[in-house]
Chain A
């Protein structure tokens, strides 16, 4: 077996071959233009038990994200900062190849890219949530699961995390401060809640390259045959807060072409999020 076909169903192999034939002619398997995203649908509050949640549909890719809060002791090297933990998993339901069990290197990479996109963006004001600096800080958990993988899961996961955080409730920090003497007795789920406030909105955009042709929002077979994949995360200010070359190589010029295109797309998607009423610009 060659690398592309290993562990795949015949239907998947046929889809990959068809996608390759299309891309050679400069068209997408679903008829989109090279610079169009698939339809994006976002539902928020889909998991009531979490403090914040979202379900993102990016074409056939489905990501569910939950936000939770706990109280904890800060890390030694940053005693006055809240703690953020981002973890993602591709569920065994996501595709024929996906497996249950501990995360493999692709899942770890995906989680860490999403983590960096959020952490470095300043979406969370970490200092604000240090309840008693050096002693008790807020621990923010963002867990996302890929339910169905039809490619571009990083873009979808960052959208999911932003949507879940932007619409999340959080335990009232002032209430916890007032009752800090009984901090060990506090049940975080029963603390009165306030709205979580996000400070920045990072948007991740993955650019794929095949035979010198560049395009956005690759599907699973497009990712499979792409020579290169690179993700840029942008802020509203136009600053870059994360880059990851996920696959392949790029010429020096292509890096900058892809960067400009990613920024262009990030503006479009940020507007879309605001149109959906998930964020306020």
Chain B
């Protein structure tokens, strides 16, 4: 027997309850953007481009004491099983807003009065939990753009599927699941910047879901740092070599 321990519950795609899908993050993937990043999380493929800080236009809309963030979360027509109209849906407008307010918590906007920062999130393939993956990539893109941040922002989701609390809800699980809880946090300041829930959870289940999502977020935070380090290493390869010669 299994020594009284509960048998490990296996998910639709064979994952353990606290196992993330396969992921990778790359920074600096677009030449023209001031900052850019790409995230792959399961079949999710999301690209983020950041432009700015730059002068805000029209001028009368600019704020004297801080920068304005423009954020667009957009799904490509071919990103979903059924073709999605390229026109922004109500869902995309809501997600653009919650992602923007989440990122505003980290960006030191007061450094750039009268300016704006554009963040474009393009979901090229969607497979569940796109909003949190988007935010994770957007944070890397902002860092790559050299925009001062109080902390990184990293997102992860949890949910209840077949009565089990699981991390990183995939598309199939989201459809049949009982609840979905996307969160995004500033991992060092330990603050929640995005929190939504949809479905039915008891307080106890919410606590477990929150903790499991948090654990997933901290795992992705390591990947964010890795992506940025790798980019810096690549960029400074030449200077580094010169530096070595001097020593």
- Which stretch in A14-22, A53-61, A160-168, A237-245 binds the other chain? A237-245
What is the total number of residues of chain A having a CB less than 8 Å from a CB of chain B? 35
Contact A242 B198, CB 8 Å, known A112-B90, A248-B105, A263-B203: yes
B63 touches A2 (CB 8 A): yes
* Contacts of A88-139 to chain B: CB distance below 8 A: 105-106, 108-109, 111-112, 116, 120, 122
* Contacts of A1-16 to chain B: CB distance below 8 A: 1-3, 6
Answer whether residue B196 sits at the interface, using C-beta atoms and an 8 A cutoff.
yes
Answer whether residue B210 sits at the interface, using C-beta atoms and an 8 A cutoff.
yes
- A247 to B193 Cα, complex, angstroms: 8
A245 touches B195 (CB 8 A): yes
Interface 1/0s, chain A 205-236, versus B by CB < 8 A? 00000000000000000000000001000010
Chain B nearest CB: distance from A13 CB in Å? 15
Contact A230 B195, CB 8 Å, known A238-B202, A238-B203: yes
A residues in contact with B191, CB < 8 Å: 249-252
Interface of A is mostly: mixed
B195 touches A240 (CB 8 A): no
B63 touches A240 (CB 8 A): no
* Contacts of B209-228 to chain A: CB distance below 8 A: 210, 214
Chain B nearest CB: distance from A3 CB in Å? 5
What is the total number of residues of chain B having a CB less than 8 Å from a CB of chain A? 34
- A240 to B210 Cα, complex, angstroms: 13
User: In the complex, how many residue pairs between chain A and chain B have their CB atoms under 8 Å apart?
Assistant: 91
- A90 to B214 Cα, complex, angstroms: 35
Chain B nearest CB: distance from A209 CB in Å? 11
Chain B nearest CB: distance from A205 CB in Å? 14
Chain A nearest CB: distance from B63 CB in Å? 5
B residues in contact with A3, CB < 8 Å: 63, 65-66
Q: Which of B94, B190, B197, B214 contacts A251 (CB 8 A)?
A: B190
B63 touches A1 (CB 8 A): yes
- A122 to B200 Cα, complex, angstroms: 9
Chain B nearest CB: distance from A258 CB in Å? 10
A256 touches B101 (CB 8 A): no
A residues in contact with B98, CB < 8 Å: 109, 244-245
Answer whether residue B64 sits at the interface, using C-beta atoms and an 8 A cutoff.
yes
Q: Which of B91, B94, B97, B186 contacts A249 (CB 8 A)?
A: B186
Residues of A within 8 A of B (CB): 1-3, 6, 105-106, 108-109, 111-112, 116, 120, 122, 230, 235, 237-245, 247-252, 255-256, 259-260, 263
Residues of B within 8 A of A (CB): 63-66, 90-91, 93-94, 96-98, 101, 105, 181, 185-186, 190-203, 206-207, 210, 214
